[in-house]
Structure 1
C-alpha cells in the first residue's frame, strides 16, 4: 500500500493530493495537517524513502524540473516576515484548491460563486540553500548520480543569501499546515518536501518578478545533534590532530589540538553563559607570491570535515561594503554573512587586510562579529527597531601578527610551524592529501559526536563524594565565605552533568 502510494506521489503528487482530498471526511480546516501527517509517514520515516524524492539544490535547480514536480529542498529559513497568502481551499466538484492548484488556474475555470469560509491562509517564507554547506554534505543529501544535472547561476532575490555572488537556490516556501509553520525560525535548517511551481513573488503587484515556489506537503526540522557514530572514534582523535597539523598547520600539533576542541564546541547554556570560545591562530604566515592559492589549506581541510563551514577573506573593501548583519528594507529582509544556521564554523582570514580607512559600515560589521563571539547573538535591523537573535557559530581567526587586528577572541594560539611543512599552509583543494573515505568518515563522526556530547559528563560516585567532602571542609575552614556558597552547588556535586 505504502509502496504504491510512494510511486504515485513521486509521479503525480497533484493527483494523489486530489484523491486524498476527495476521500477526506474531516474538518476542512484540519486537512493541511492531515496531508502533512500522511506524507510524513511516507517520506520522512526513513532516509531510503526520503532520498527517493528528487533533490532541489545547486546541481539540480528549479528549471531542471517539470512544473509541479515533487522535490525535496534541504534549506535554511531566511525570512519569515512575509504576509500569509490567501487561497481557495475548495473548488468545483469537491476538488482541492490548495498547494498552488487554485493559484495556477485560469480565471475561466474559477467557480462563479464560492463560500468565503473556503478562503484559507498559507504561511509564506523565503528559504535558501544552507549557507556554507560543504560539497560532501550536499552530495550526501542528494544521494543520486544524475548525469543530467545542470549547475545553477545566481538566482533572483540574491540579496537574501548571506554570501554575495554565490550560486544557490532561493525559493518562496508556502506551508498550508499553519500550526506547524509557526515554530519555524530564521536560520532553522529544514527539509521541505513539496510541489514545485513558478509564481509571482507578490501576486498583488503587477510588476512583481517570477520566482520558484515550493508548496509544502510535509517538512522536518534538522536537529543540531543530527549525526552518525562509528566504532573507530577511539583512535580517530589522534589521527585527526596529526592530519590537520601536517596538512594545514605546518606540523603544529598543539594548534591542531586547540582547533579540534574549538570544532567540538557549541552553545551549552545561555542563562548561565556557557558558549563556544572564539580562537585566533596568530603568527599565521601570509601567502607568498608563489603560493598557488590565496585561501589557506585549512579552508579545504575544514570543508572536508564539517557539514557547514564558511570562509570569509577579510579586507577593508569587504568590511566597508558588504553586509554582515541582516537588514530589512522595504519589508524585505536582506541577508548578511552572519545569518547562518546553528553549528556553522566561520573561518575569518586577515591576510588581505592592508592599511586604509574603516568607515562606519565596516565598524558595525566588526562589532557584529564580536557580538557573535562574545554573546552568540546577532542583531537584525528593521526600519524602526532592532532585535537580537541567538546564534551558535564557532569562529576561527587567522592573523599574521601576535593578535587579530579587529577581534578579541577568547583563545590566542601562536602558530609554530616546522620549516619542512610551512609550504603546506596554502595549497589548492587538489593538492590536499585527504585520508581514505572510511577514515574521513571517522573524522567527521568524531567531531559530530564530540559536539553532541559537549557538556555531558558522568561523575563517578567516589568523585562525587570527594567533591561533597571538600565542599564541607572549605565551609568549615572559612565560615564567613561559606554563607555565600549556594546550596545548589552542593546539590550539583552529587548529580551527573
Structure 2
C-alpha cells in the first residue's frame, strides 16, 4: 500500500509544488532544488512508491496521458545543445508558475512581470534508450496498447532507423543538476507531462511532448553476486558453442572476453578490444541475421546489430550532425555499455562514397579510441563512448576495419549459424537470468583485476623466455596478452591475476595464432 504523502505527490504534483512554494515564501534560485529534493525523497526511497508512477514508453505513449500527469521516463539524453529558456517563476499573486503550471485567471498573468521574477531553465531532447534489449527495458508490457502506434514527432533524433520509440523535450528547472547531464547518459526523469511548441518563439513551431522535470535519478545497475562463476562460465561457453557458433569453443572463449570488457581507464592499452570473427559463412537468405545476433539480444542489456552494406554506409549518418540548429542523431550515438554486431555479408563490390568513408572512419575511431565526433556548424566536438564492437567477416579479415583481435571460425556444422530466434534452443528463463547477471558481473570485474608483484615478475620472466624462442615477439604482444589476461581473470570473476590465468591466456593466444596461420597457408 502506498503512503498518503506519496499518493499526494503522484496525483496532485501541482498542488504539492504550490504548497512548497508557499512554505518557502516565494521562488528564488534555490527553489528548484527544494522541489527536486522533496520529490526525490518521497518517490525514490522505495521501489513500491516509484513503481506507482505511470511509465512513459512505447506501450504508454504521451497521448495515453492527459496534460498535467506526473510520469516517469527512462531515457537517453540525445541533445543538450538547445538554448536555455526564460520562464516566469512567480506571478503577481505570488503563485508558482514553473513546471508547466498555469492559472485559468488571465488577469493574474496580464500584469507586468519584473525582471527579478524571471528565471532560466535548461532544455534538452531525450529518447527511449536505444539498443536496450526488451527483457531489460523497465516495465515494458507485452499487452497490446489501445492507442494507435505512436508516431515520434522528430524521428531524426533517434539513432536507430525504423525503431519504435518515444521522443520528448525535457525542461529542467534545477539548472545545477542539468549541468551534470551529458549526451548518451541514461536517466529516469520524473515530471509533469504537457504538449507545447518545440520552439516557443516560432508561431509555426510543431507541438511535441514536453516533460517538466521535477526530479530524476541516474544510478548504475547493482553488481550481481554470482555463485560458482567458473561453473556458470563453462555452461555459457558450452551453450553458445553448441547452439550459436557451430561447436567452436575457441571462438566462444574470445567472444566471451570481448563481451566481458568495458571502458574503465581511457588509455589505449586498456580500452576494450574489438573482435573480428572471420571466415564466417554468408547467410542462406539475404538480410538474414545470424543466430549470434539473437543470442546477444537475449544475453546483453544493450545490443544492436548493424547489417553493413554499401547503401547503408553511403546514405545513412553514423555520427550526430547539427542541421539548422537541430542535432540529428547518428547510428553510433548509443549509450555506454552497448555492444554492436557489424555484419559484412551484404557488402558487395561497388564504390564507397565520401559519406561511407566518414562512417567507416567513425566506427574505426570507436574501436581505436572509444570516441565519436559530433559535427556542428563551423566546429566539431569529440565525445567519449563505451561501445563494444564485434565484426562478422566472410574472408580472412574484415573488409573495412582493423580490429584488435581476429579469430577465424571453425564450425563443425553451419546449420545453427543462421537460425531464427524462435528456433534457437534457448536455456531456461532462470538460466538466462544467471547468464545475463554473469556477463554484467564480468564487465564490472574487468576494471578491478590487480597484478601482484610476484605474478608481475613471473610474467616478465615468461616474456623474456618467449622472446628468446621467437625473436619477432614485441612489447605490443606483451601488452595485448596482459589486457587479454585481465579480461580472462575477470571472466572467472577474479580480482587478481594468477600464474594459472596467465598460462591459460598464452594457450588461448597460441591456439588463435595457430588457427590463423593454418588458414593462411591453406589459402
TM score, norm. by length of structure 2 = 0.84
Deviations along 1:274-324, one digit per CA (max 9) or x if unpaired, are 1001001111111114x8x71111111111011110111110000000000
Counterpart of 2:170?
A: 173
Larger deviation: 26-35 or 199-208? Answer: 26-35
Say which of 266, 280, 285 aligns to 2:262: 266
Q: In structure 1, how many angstroms separate the alpha carbons of the residues matched to 2:106 and 2:27? A: 27
**Aligned pair partner of 2:227 in 194, 208, 231:** 231
Aligned length: 467
- Structure 2 distance, partners of 1:98, 1:51, is 25
Q: Tell me what 2:482 maps to.
A: none
2 CA distance for matches of 1:327 and 1:55?
30
The equivalent of 2:30 in structure 1 is 30
Describe the shift of the 1:58–1:251 C-alpha distance in structure 2 as closer, same or farther (beyond 3 A): same
With structure 1 as the length reference, what TM-score do the two structures score?
A: 0.88
Q: Is there any run of 5+ residues in structure 1 with no aligned partner, and where?
A: 475-494
Residue of structure 2 in register with 1:492 after alignment: none
Change (3 A) 1:272 1:414: closer
Q: Hey, what's the Cα distance between the residues in 2 that align with 1:148 and 1:279?
A: 40
> What does residue 423 of structure 2 align with?
431
Report deviation, 1:496.
8.0
Is 1:377 the counterpart of 2:371? The answer is yes
**8 A contact 2:341–2:390 mirrored in 1:** yes
Partner SS for 2:383: strand
How far apart in 1 are the matches of 2:44 and 2:449?
32
Alignment partners' CA distance in 1, 2:288 and 2:145? 33
Deviation at 1:15? 1.9
Aligned residue for 2:136, secondary structure, equals helix
Q: 3-state DSSP class of the match of 1:55?
A: coil
Answer yes or no: is the 8 Å Cα contact 2:59–2:141 preserved in 1: no
Aligned to 2:472: none
* 3-state SS of 1:91 partner: coil
Shift of 1:228: 3.1
CA contact (8 A) 1:60 1:149 kept: no
Distance in structure 2 (CA, Å) of the matches to 1:341 and 1:105: 41
C-alpha distance in structure 2 between counterparts of 1:146 and 1:122, whole Å: 37
CA–CA separation in structure 2 for the residues paired with 1:251 and 1:12: 59
For the Cα contact (< 8 Å) 1:60–1:151, is it kept in 2? no
Q: What RMSD in Å do the two structures reach over aligned CA positions?
A: 2.6
Residues 151/343 of structure 1: CA separation in 2 closer, same or farther (3 Å cut): farther
What's the CA shift for 1:212? 0.4
Q: CA deviation at 1:118?
A: 1.1
User: Superposed, which structure 2 residues align to 1:307-456 within 5 Å?
Assistant: 307-419=301-413, 422-456=414-448
Task: Give the alignment partner of residue 297 of structure 2, picking from 292, 299, 303.
Answer: 303
Residue 481 (structure 1) aligns with: none
Call closer, same or farther: CA 1:6–1:285 in 2, change over 3 Å: same
The aligned counterpart of 2:66 is 66
Deviation at 1:13, TM superposition (A): 1.7
- Shift in Å, 1:434: 1.7
User: Which ranges of structure 2 fall in alignment gaps of 5 or more residues?
Assistant: 466-494, 498-523
In structure 2, the partner of 1:483 is none
Secondary structure of 1:59's aligned partner: coil
Structure 1 residues 106, 416: CA separation in 2 closer, same or farther (over 3 Å shift)? farther
Q: Is residue 280–residue 412 contact of structure 1 (8 Å, CA) maintained in 2?
A: yes
Change (3 A) 1:469 1:266: closer
Deviations 1:452-477 (A, max 9, x none): 1113125568657x679989x99xxx
Contact 1:92 1:111 (8 Å CA) reproduced? no
- What's the secondary structure of 2:126's corresponding residue? strand
In 2: Cα distance, 1:469 partner to 1:409 partner? 26
